[in-house]
Amino acid sequence: MNEKEKGFCEELAALADALLSFRVSAPHHTAADGGVLCPACLLMHGRIADAVYPLLCLYEYTKDEKYREAARDFAEWTERNCLMPDGSYRNDAANGWEGVTAFCCIAFLKSLLYCPSALDEELQKTLSAVAARILRMLDGFMSRVMPVINYRAASAYAYALGYRYFGEEKYLAAARKWEQNCRGYVTENGLLRGEGTPCDYRSKRGYVPIDIAYNAEETLPSLLWFARETDDTEAEAFWQRCAETHIEFMLPDGAWDDSFGSRRFKWTYYGSRTADGCATGFFARSASAVLSEAARRNTALVRNCTHDGLVTGGKMFFEAGEPTCIHHTFCRMKGLADRLKFGENPESVPLYRDFAEGVKHYPEMGVYCVGKGNMYGSFAATDVRYGADCVGNALTLAYHKKIGALLSASMSDYTLIEPQNMQLSRKYDLKKCSTVRLEKDGFDSVRDTEAVLTCEKEDREGTILRSTGFLKNRDGKALARFALTYAVRDNGIEITAECEEDARLIFPIIASHNETVRAEEKCAEIKRSDGNISVEASEKIKCAESERIFNPVGGFLYAVFSAAVSQDKPLHVRITAEK
C-alpha cells in the first residue's frame, strides 16, 4: 500500500469505526442484534448491508477482523429483518419499498468480485446465494413497477456485475436492457430526467423531473460502472458526456446545486441524503479528468462536513446542534472504497463553474443559471412536484466563489416526504422557510407555480431576470400580483420587489451562530469567517441579530432579514460579498 492509498484507507477506517460504534449487540433479540441504531433517526436503517463492500475492502487492506465481522453482521441482520416474500429487501422495517434491493445486490457482488481474499467460505456462499436470488427477481420487479430513474440505472449495474460474476448471458441482456432504457431519458441539454413519480411525469407547464444530486450521485455512477463492467467503451463515453453536463451544476467548492431539484427535500449541499456520492462512479482510472476532479472536490467537501467520524447532513448540521444520521456515512464509505480499489485520473483541471459567465437556460426544468465574476445564481419557476413539495418560483441559490453560499432556498413547507430518510430538528422551528420571498398574511411568492421567469437583459454589467406572478397561499388562492427582479453582478445580487399590496421581502442570509450580524436603518452587515456580506436597502431593514433559523434542506443556518414593500413603491435591496 503506497502513501496515497494509506491515506484513503485511514479516511475510510475513520468513517467505519464511527459507524460501528453504533452497532447493537443483543444476542437474544434478532431484530436488533448486528444492526446499527441511528443516533438521529432513532431507528435501524434497512440499507445497512450497503456497507458490506467497503467494510470488506477495509478488511483486505488492514486485516482487522472487526470489519469482516461487521460486514457479516450487517448481511445477516438484513436477511433476518428486511427480507420480503419475493426474495427482495424492503427499505426499512416501516417502509416496504423494495427498489433498494438493487443497491444491496451491487454491494454483495462487488464484494465477491473485488474483495475475494476478505471472504471466508461461509461468507462467500452467503453473499453469492443472496445475489443470485436478487438477480432472479429484480428484472421482473423493475419491469412491473417501472420506478424512478436511479433504480433502473442500479439494475443495469447490478446485472452487469451479475454477468461478470456468474457468467450468465441473460444477466448481460438484462443489464443492456436497463441501460438502454435510461438513454431514453436524456434531454436535449444532456440532462437525465425521470427522478419523479411516475418516471415519465411531465407537469402542466411541460417541465420534467430532474434531480441533479440524485443523477450525479446515484444514477450516473451506476451507468458508468455498467459500461466498465461490460467493457462497453461507447456506453462509457456516452455516460461520461452526460456526467460532464451535470458537472455544470457543481460549484467550485465541490457542492452540487440541487436547490431546484425534483427531490431537493433530500439535498445536503454536497449531494443527496441517501445517495452514494459521485465518487462511486467518477473515481476510476478510465474516468475523464473532469469527472475525477469533480469527485476530488466533492470528497473534500464531504470531509469538511464530517464530525466525530460521521458525515453530517450539510455544512452547518453539526454547528446547529443536530444529531447526525448514519445513512450519509455508510453510503459515502462506498466512494472511498472505490477510490482505493479503482484509483482515479490524477490530472487536475478547471470545472465549468470556475470560469462560466453569462446565463444558461434549462427549459426542460424551468431553471436559469447565471455566472458573473465571482457570483453564481440559480433561479427557478416550475410546477414539478414530488410528493407535496414544489419549487414554485424562487431565487434558489446565490453563491460567491471566494466566500461560498450566501442565499439558499428550502422547501416552502418542510414535510417528511420520506420519513425514514429525512430529519426533524431537535432545536429549530422548521416551519420557517429560508427561501427569498415576498410575503403577506400566509401568502407568498414562492407558492405560485404559474409564475413567469424571464431573462430581461444580459451585458457586461451582469444579467437581469424578472419573475412575475401572484402571492398565493397553501391552497393556491391568489392575493396580489407581484414582480421580483434580480440583477446578478460581479460580487453580489440586487433585488427589486414590487407588489399590488403592502408586503414584506424576506431574505434569509446564511450565517453561523458565531458570525456577527448588525442591522441599522437601511444597512446591515454579516462578518463571516470567510469574508463580509453587506446589505443596502431603500427601506429600513429588520433583523433579530442574534437569532438564527435552520433548515435541513441544504443544512444551513440563516440570519433572517426583511424590509417593507409598499404597493406604490418598489423596494430595492443590494447584497454584496467581499473577501
Q: What percent of the chain has pLDDT over 90?
A: 94
> What's the count of helices (H) and strands (E) in the chain, helices before strands?
14, 21
Residue 529: band (very low, low, confident or very high) from pLDDT cuts 50, 70, 90: confident
CA-CA distance, 201 to 209, in Å (whole number)? 7
pLDDT, one tens digit per residue, over 362-380 is 999 999 999 999 999 999 9
Nearest to 507 by CA among 515, 520, 496: 496
Residue for grid cell 413497477: 145
Alpha helices in 146-197 (DSSP H): 149-166, 169-183
Residue 445: band (very low, low, confident or very high) from pLDDT cuts 50, 70, 90: very high
Alpha helices in 283-391 (DSSP H): 289-304, 327-342, 352-355
pLDDT, one tens digit per residue, over 316-361 is 999 999 999 999 999 999 999 999 999 999 999 999 999 999 999 9
pLDDT at position 265 is 94
Span 115-133, mean pLDDT? Answer: 98
Span 549-578, mean pLDDT? Answer: 96
User: DSSP letter at 217?
Assistant: I
pLDDT at position 358 is 96
Span 148-173, mean pLDDT? Answer: 98
C-alpha cell at 455: 431573462
pLDDT at position 1 is 79
pLDDT at position 4 is 85
CB atoms within 10 A of CB 68: 22
CA-CA distance, 499 to 497, in Å (whole number)? 7
pLDDT at position 392 is 83
CA-CA distance, 49 to 108, in Å (whole number)? 8
pLDDT, one tens digit per residue, over 163-198 is 999 999 999 999 999 999 999 999 999 999 999 989
Is pLDDT of 388 > 80?
A: no
* Cβ-count burial 441-461 (b if 16+ within 10 Å, e if not): eebbbbbbbebebebeebeee
Is pLDDT of 121 > 80?
A: yes
Bond from prior residue into 39 cis (ω within 30 degrees of 0): no
Residue 386: band (very low, low, confident or very high) from pLDDT cuts 50, 70, 90: confident
CA-CA distance, 71 to 343, in Å (whole number)? 23
pLDDT at position 530 is 87
pLDDT at position 148 is 97
pLDDT at position 275 is 96
How far CA 410 is from CA of 75, 382, 394, 413, 556, in Å, comes to 36, 15, 10, 8, 10
How far CA 498 is from CA of 79, 271, 325, 469, 568, in Å, comes to 59, 34, 41, 11, 8
Residue for grid cell 434558489: 396
CA-CA distance, 86 to 138, in Å (whole number)? 10
pLDDT, one tens digit per residue, over 267-294 is 999 999 999 999 999 999 999 999 999 9
How far CA 280 is from CA of 79, 121, 162, 252, 446, in Å, comes to 25, 28, 18, 20, 35
* Cβ-count burial 195-215 (b if 16+ within 10 Å, e if not): bbeebebebeeebbbbbbbbb
Span 298-308, mean pLDDT? Answer: 97
Span 104-114, mean pLDDT? Answer: 98
Span 67-85, mean pLDDT? Answer: 97
Span 372-391, mean pLDDT? Answer: 90
pLDDT at position 432 is 86
Mean pLDDT of the chain: 96
pLDDT, one tens digit per residue, over 500-512 is 999 999 999 999 9
pLDDT at position 473 is 94
User: CB within 8 A of 400, min separation 6: which ones?
Assistant: 374, 375, 376, 406, 491, 492, 531, 577
pLDDT, one tens digit per residue, over 459-479 is 999 999 999 999 999 999 999
